[in-house]
Structure 1
């Protein structure tokens, strides 16, 4: 990215959600290293040890604050505190999320489905809504970490895919309206990131999942056996995704959809004829009576 095409981060305030590990942690550190004043939020600040250690190792400072994306009061309080401390907010990265933990819809519950949507979709909507007045005032950026499974459905991940599909549609609809008021909206789309807590049913023993999958156990076993090697070869580390997020934040005219790597771009292209979202965004801007910028 040439200097003419990049936004100078100096003096700009960025808030990142879900920074206790993985992409969120890496993004907070990478953004601070790039020059952003970085507010790194997480549900439980007691879990900020790895974040603080990574920031110290990188020689940067991050402002660690509590923010629970499922608690509107927590979101409001955090945004008010940021406004009081800095007087502005130039960028938001929605990263907080949870993985799927049920093998299939029939063996799951409404409560489990709603809990996944509460974090992965409603959390994004709640934080974005609270941040937009500040972002409008700053002519800022709203970047969300999505997933290839928000575009291509993954078997045995119905709840997670439902939430990520909802995020894609929500932000695709929001983006042209926000742009008309000075806020650029983008979704960074990683594939499989092995060094995060997100993988193929992370944090849950696969034997337990097979036992819980009832009549679907043979299909689920075949799926796991065939999928593992393919995902491992497609993996990219969290710090690479973080660098894509920071480049997107700094771009003067970022696309709506930003694949985090070549594998993700190819995977999305299998379904999308418009992989970076430019055609859809241009169409929507036309509906608003605004030419492509």
Structure 2
């Protein structure tokens, strides 16, 4: 039929944590490090997103990390290895629109790994998180986001969404956005460091941004800062 794409009768199964870890250990005989790098962007606010949108964000960004970590941990115990996870400054600072679902998932990742870190350390496994800010990658493009269509259907949130998209688009296109290679170098450095920090930001901007949250006991600094992003 026109427009249809033929599919094989027996498609190749999608990789799972078990198959990926088995591939690495079969090929190399051991597993010294795991980098959790899967991520999925979600743009929208509570009333414009579905529950499936929230569940999908948690499935990729949080449960994916948990599943791979759980599978790899026995092998990392055997090698005295490292678990490095790509979080985000959004795991520390809750942000409007782009990040209600995404930040929730990344915050869950950080809470999970902050809790796991001392336990894993007792069996010789290092646990660390990497917190990038804006990165000029395909994360947002792969989310198939149409800003104009989103603004047109935002209803009561049209002015605030417009302000947020303008601010964020400028940030991702500015010189403050890092390249994927720069973030990868931070990951590599953390693996080469004998005693890396638990939480590692990838730029001075990211360090200053996360520092706002870590010094903000009552939440007023963060909410005042992000209020400006939506035109308040």
Contact 2:18 2:71 in 1 (8 A): yes
Query: What SS does structure 1 have at the residue aligned with 2:187?
Result: helix
Where does structure 1 differ by over 6 angstroms across 4 or more consecutive aligned residues?
Answer: none
Give the C-alpha shift of residue 250 in structure 1.
1.2
1:171 aligns with 2:113: yes
1:261 aligns with 2:176: no
Instruction: Give distance in 2, aligned partners of 1:208 and 1:198.
Output: 19
> Gapped runs of 5+ residues in structure 2?
1-12, 217-232
- Deviation per CA, 1:220-266, whole angstroms, max 9, x where unpaired? 11222234334424211110000000000111111100000111001
Q: What corresponds to 1:115 in structure 2?
A: 56
1:183 aligns with 2:121: no
Q: What corresponds to 1:212 in structure 2?
A: 153
Contact 2:42 2:57 in 1 (8 A): yes
Instruction: Give distance in 2, aligned partners of 1:153 and 1:233.
Output: 23
* TM-score, scaled relative to structure 1: 0.65
* 1:2-151 map, 5 Å: 68=15, 74-101=16-43, 103-151=44-92
Contact 2:133 2:205 in 1 (8 A): yes
Q: Structure 1 residues 129, 208: closer, same or farther in 2, change over 3 A?
A: same
* TM-score, scaled relative to structure 2: 0.82
Aligned pairs, how many?
Answer: 202
- Deviation per CA, 1:36-89, whole angstroms, max 9, x where unpaired? xxxxxxxxxxxxxxxxxxxxxxxxxxxxxx964xxxxx2112212322222210
1:197 aligns with 2:138: yes
> Gapped runs of 5+ residues in structure 1?
1-65, 69-73, 275-293
Q: What corresponds to 2:194 in structure 1?
A: 252
Contact 1:152 1:268 in 2 (8 A): yes
RMSD (CA atoms): 1.9
1:224 aligns with 2:192: no
